[in-house]
Amino acid sequence: LFLRYKNEMKEAYTMQNFDYQTPTRLIFGKGVISALPEVMKPLGQKILLTYGGGSIKKLGLYDKVKELLKEFEIYELADIQPNPKYNPSVLEGVRICKENEIEAILAVGGGSVLDCSKAIAAGAKYDGDPWDLISYKVKAQAALPIVDILTLAATGSEYDCGGVISRTETNDKIGYMDELLFPVCSILDPVYTFSVSKKQTAAGCADAMNHVMEQYFTEDTTLLNDGFCESMLKSLMVNAKKCLENPEDYTARAEMMLCCTYGCNGILSLGNSASGWPCHGIEHALSAYYDITHGEGLAMITPRWMKHILNDRTVGRFVKYGVNVFGIDSSLGQYEIADKAIEETYRFFESIGIPMHLREVGIDESRLSEMAHHVAVNEGLENAYAPLSESDILDILEASL
């Protein structure tokens, strides 16, 4: 009976309308940084260069950028931390932009540097408290143009209009999106990711895989989108392993970088019904409360979330995932395939060295209820593909301990 009902529902499904544009120019490959002066020139003379804790100096990238832009007037914002902070980084960046009439931002680093730069770009053109924009109290009317040189394959921030900003005093970690914040141009040279540590390589892979899964596990999808997603998941798993074995494997780093770039700007789910991005909703609380690495938090949550939502309504998606991504024997029973697929997901994350228990990253049971409440109130997961109440969220967190 259930299956018949489900099939009738399927016939009634119509592909969702969409309005899609990603205006970002991608320049990809070895040595493409040479395009930087030409890219920056039309944007202005006064540039704010943003970066993190020093990896770009070790890479020689800082010197290279300064040399290529010697004709420009460069201001700097350094020390942007992972899980970038509103205070001081965003506020400080906005101050520098306003005081010096900055015309464009050049973000050099991983997702945290890019995300922070996006919030600065909007804040610089706004008269009030930039938190008004990040918290969606006010819609930005303008933003400074952003160019980035990506050094870590993970978030897809280089090809989307979102940034995730943490505000320590309120335990908020907010995903802030605005179409004004697409980078004008992203310079993607996989060679700059050779030095990424094993930990961050694995976390980046888990983050990008979860971006794909957040779009794959939903009610209505197309064969086309499912194919994109399944192929990306396979590519990420194969290439992450190669990058871990040989960090200077150019082809593996390059394919991983491109997968990550495609992961988060919605292109994988055009026409699909919305999923609600539940694992991200839950993970944001983990990294807001405990400042853990985003991709690691996602890897821990994902298989527990899968187990929690597996039921007669969702099992079909898990069967497709298990058969097409992990090559599980399609003649097995539905639940057997689904259980194996979830187990394979867990084992893969474990095999690339990700800690798979919250306790391993310093999270115990003491604040799980508080976090579950925070997620339930702020993330709207009661509308997700598999709706999650506060107690569902708590169960998933407890299972991840």
Chain residues binding ligand NZQ by CB under 6 A are 52-55, 59, 82-83, 109-113, 115, 151-152, 154-157, 160, 162-164, 192-193, 195-196, 200, 204, 207, 264, 280, 294-295
Q: What is the CA radius of gyration of the chain?
A: 21
Which 174-213 positions form the footprint of Zn ion (CB under 5 A)?
207
User: At its nearest, how many Å lie between Zn ion and the CB of residue 164?
Assistant: 8
In single-letter form, the type of residue at position 386 comes to A
| Short-list 329, 354, 69, CA closest to 203 | 354
Please state the φ and ψ torsions of residue 280, each to the nearest 5 degrees. -65, -40
Q: Taking the complex as a whole, how short is the minimal distance between the CB of residue 197 and Zn ion, in angstroms?
A: 18
Q: Which does 110 bind (CB under 5 to 8 A by kind): Zn ion, ligand NZQ, none?
A: ligand NZQ
The C-alpha atoms of residue 287 and residue 250 are separated, in whole angstroms, by: 31
Query: Look-up: residue for tokens 């169960």?
Result: 395
Which residue is at the shortest CB distance from Zn ion? 207
DSSP 176-191: EE-GGGS-SEEEE-GG
Count residues contacting Zn ion (CB under 5 A)?
Answer: 1
What is the rounded distance in angstroms from the CA atom of residue 351 to the CA atom of residue 25?
35
Smallest separation, CB 210 to Zn ion (Å): 6
- Binding-site partner at residue 247 among Zn ion, ligand NZQ, none, CB < 5 to 8 Å by type: none
Q: How far is the CB of 196 from ligand NZQ (least distance, A)?
A: 5
Extract the tokens encoding 280. 């991200």
How far apart are the C-alpha atoms of 257 and 25, rounded to whole Å?
A: 15
* Residue 260 vs 337, nearer CB to ligand NZQ: 260
Smallest separation, CB 25 to ligand NZQ (Å): 18
Report d(CA 41, CA 32) in Å as an integer: 16
* Binding site partner of 339, from ligand NZQ, Zn ion, none, Cβ cut-off 5-8 A by kind: none
Q: How far is the CB of 10 from ligand NZQ (least distance, A)?
A: 30
Side by side, the strands of the sheet bearing 104-109 are 25-28, 185-188, 146-150, 104-109, 46-50, 73-77
Residue 276 binding target from Zn ion, ligand NZQ, none, CB below 5 to 8 Å by type? none
Please identify, using beta-carbon distances, which residue of 207 and 230 lies nearer to Zn ion: 207
Query: Greatest CA separation found in the chain?
Result: 71
CA 50 vs. chain centroid, Å, equals 19
Distance of CA 14 to the CA centre of its chain: 28
CB of 221 to Zn ion, least distance (A): 20
Is 118 within 8 Å of 176 (Cβ atoms)? yes
Query: Can residue 160 be called a binding residue for Zn ion (CB under 5 A)?
Result: no
Residue 277 Cβ, how far from Zn ion at the closest point, in Å? 9
DSSP 8-state code for residue 278:
H
- Find the angle CA(216)-CA(27)-CA(61) to the nearest 5 degrees: 105
Say which entry of Zn ion, ligand NZQ, none residue 93 contacts (CB below 5 to 8 A, set by partner kind). Answer: none
- 292 binding partner (options Zn ion, ligand NZQ, none; Cβ < 5 to 8 Å by kind): none
**Between residues 45 and 378, which has the closer beta carbon with respect to ligand NZQ?**
378
Which C-beta is closer to Zn ion: that of 97 or that of 181? Answer: 181
> Is the CB of 253 or the CB of 294 nearer to Zn ion?
294
Cβ nearer to ligand NZQ, comparing 215 with 324: 215
Q: Which residue, 214 or 339, is less far from Zn ion as judged by CB? A: 214
Nearer to ligand NZQ, 172 or 207 (CB): 207
Q: What is the spatial distance between Cα 232 and Cα 263, in angstroms, rounded to a whole number? A: 8
d(CA 201, CA 165): 22
Q: Between 153 and 309, whose beta carbon lies closer to ligand NZQ?
A: 153
Please report, as ranges, the residues that interact with Zn ion according to CB under 5 A.
207
